[in-house]
Amino acid sequence: MRDVRSAVSAVWKQESGRIVAGLTRMVRDVGLAEELAQDALVAALEQWPASGVPDNPGAWLTAIAKRRAIDHIRRARRQENRDEQLARDQRTDEPEQDDVLRLMFLSCHPVLPTDARAALTLRLLGGLTTAEIARAFLATEPRIAHRIAEAKRTLADSGAPFELPSGPEAAQRLSSVLEVVYLIFNEGYSATSGDDLIRPGLCQEALRLGRLLAELVPREAEVHGLVALMEIQASRSAARTGPSGEPVQLHEQDRAKWDQQLIRRGFASMLRAREAGGPPGPYLLQAAIAACHAQAHTADETDWAQIAALYAALSRLVPTPVVHLNRAVAVGRAEGPAAGLALVDALVADPLLRDYHLLPGVRGDLLLRLGRDHEARLEFERAAALARNDAERAFLLRRADAIIPGDQAVRTLGAAARDFLSRDDLDEATLRSYGQTLRRLRRSLGEGLPMASLTPDRIAEAFTAAWGGAAAKTWNRHRSTVRSFGAWAGMDDLAASLVRRAETGSPAPAIDPALVRALCDREDLSLRERTLWLLLHESAAPVSAVLALDVEHLDLANRRARVGRTWVRWRSRTAAALPRLVAGRSRGPVFLSDRRPGPARTPAEADLCPETGRRRLSYERAEYLFKQATGFTLRRLRPSGQSMGWRGPSTAGVE
């Protein structure tokens, strides 16, 4: 029995993509197609233990699934002329591979958010169960199930066609598919969170999808470039971790452990990419960089000048801060650590890298090579504080601990901030405001930064990266904290480089309701954000009140919820969105953060969802996401001069 189940599972992972693709062409509904395919899987589990595994199990599953589809079509088509169309459908058996390619494009449709594309692709084309996908991404099973269901619903509601894109759209859609495949690979190759650095299952699944895509579109150079990149990177997997799972840096890896077969496959894919013609794209350039490492028998033989040149070309195509940081690493090896450090220092103020642990990690490595040990130690400690993967965090702390510290009596920013916030003369609101400012500065500058090194210019650099795009009132509030902290620490000029911004006398006007409606109709934005924005607009409640809502206090039937002694009410569009957002949850915050908190950041019990393990969405994060999408603050969602569904604290004990 166990052997039969294992056989069914193996066949399903191999054939499910083709089966679902063929069914989607027949029924034109990816959700229904997967249900029909699942029916065939259930039939196999019921029949194969008695009858044995068929000689061609994939064909058996396909035949059963298609019979289910035909039965469904016959029931759905009631007009006589549809019978003729059904016969034509059966005679016109389009190439199966085209169906799989169509399904790839549909699963990675740009109408879906990136995380939904990845989950749906693994489900439909990888044959992974919801539980397997949840384990791979360290998410809860209900969360992944909801994400997949929401993705199917979005595809159906948007009318996304089961067709191959053509014309100018084709390149953009293919880019979306490549992005999803590489995202899956990267999450396996360098896990962003959790205990382990590598999740081999995701790497293998991404490689399988990439190889399949290369077979389906053999004339696309970037597809072969991506496959080459993944093959060569995967070849180093066995050498990337030590006996206890700790990371091993590239130049310290045992190259005898590199998989030569995968390297040869990667080189072969690069040749196919070049044969396809055209200028090299981002994936092919990254594959060429990986090939430079693979061709070096020892770390000392690495052609860093060539790698730096390739990164320069890549930065012209994809001028992102992360690419610039990688180029700085290569330049640091090719031209010396001082040259690399100059490039890294130019990135320190970039807001997109402010919480990226590899920025201080790279900076620490360059400082260490320059003999600036104390500064390097501080950077490694800061990188460890930002790292979300446990193995990486432990590795960075070991690097910091390996550097002999200097004067132990040096007063640090972290210690000074804790002393400042432990004063008895600060009320709760002031303490919360001061704590928010200093928490961000400590993350940006490092807990261990000596107070003697805390200059106005360093403060201004970190301050601008954190709040450069903030409203004048927000900027001035954080500036006031820096001034108070500086005065307390005997450093009166700490905010000297921070110029007070002029605040407008009247509040900014509310956003045009038509713009709000258009914004909340955008399917590329997550359901959480759209629901939050709708609720803020329809209720006119304060942002803090809406974010404080709990699932158990929702009265969905009457379109209202209680927060403390206040009521929040909403209208029809929020009423349609809220049940979808809280589906499967009975307690905890309505609006949740994207990830679970780390061990050192456990929130209060009231701010933690007992069913998902995730914390309440913070005001800062909600504000940031809205500004990213619109450039406005959340308060501008509140209609001017209206209370709409907002009821303030009750003094009479009713409403």
- How is 481-504 classified by DSSP, letter by letter? HHHHHHHHTT-TTTTTT-PPPPPP
What tokens appear for 201 in the block? 């299952």
Give residues with Cβ within 8 angstroms of 359, minimum separation 6: 325, 344, 347, 348, 353, 383
Predicted pLDDT of residue 91: 41
Instruction: Kindly state the average pLDDT of the residues 391-418.
Output: 82
Q: Which of 3-12, 234-243, 285-294, 431-440 has the lowest mean pLDDT?
A: 3-12
Distance CA 271, CA 111 (A): 34
Query: Residue 483 in contact with residue 495, Cβ under 8 Å?
Result: yes
pLDDT at 308 exceeding the cut of 70: yes
- The lowest-confidence range among 117-121, 157-161, 214-218, 288-292 is 157-161
Q: Are 284 and 228 in contact (CB under 8 A)?
A: yes
pLDDT over threshold 70, residue 1: no
Identify whether the C-beta of residue 187 lies closer than 8 Å to the C-beta of residue 383: no
Q: Which two structure tokens, joined as six digits, stand for 400?
A: 């910091």
- How far apart CA 517 and CA 502 sit, in angstroms, is 32
pTM: 0.60
Question: Which residue ranges form the domains of the chain, and what is each CATH number?
Answer: 1-71+94-257 (no CATH), 303-402 (1.25.40.10), 413-489 (1.10.150), 513-636 (1.10.443.10)
For 408-444, how does the pLDDT look when each residue is reduced to its tens digit (9 = 90+)? 567 888 889 998 898 888 788 888 889 999 998 888 8
Residue 592 φ then ψ, to 5°:
-110, 155
| 599-643: pLDDT as tens digits | 555 677 888 888 888 889 888 888 888 887 777 788 888 775 544
Average pLDDT, stretch 640-650?
46
DSSP state of 595: S
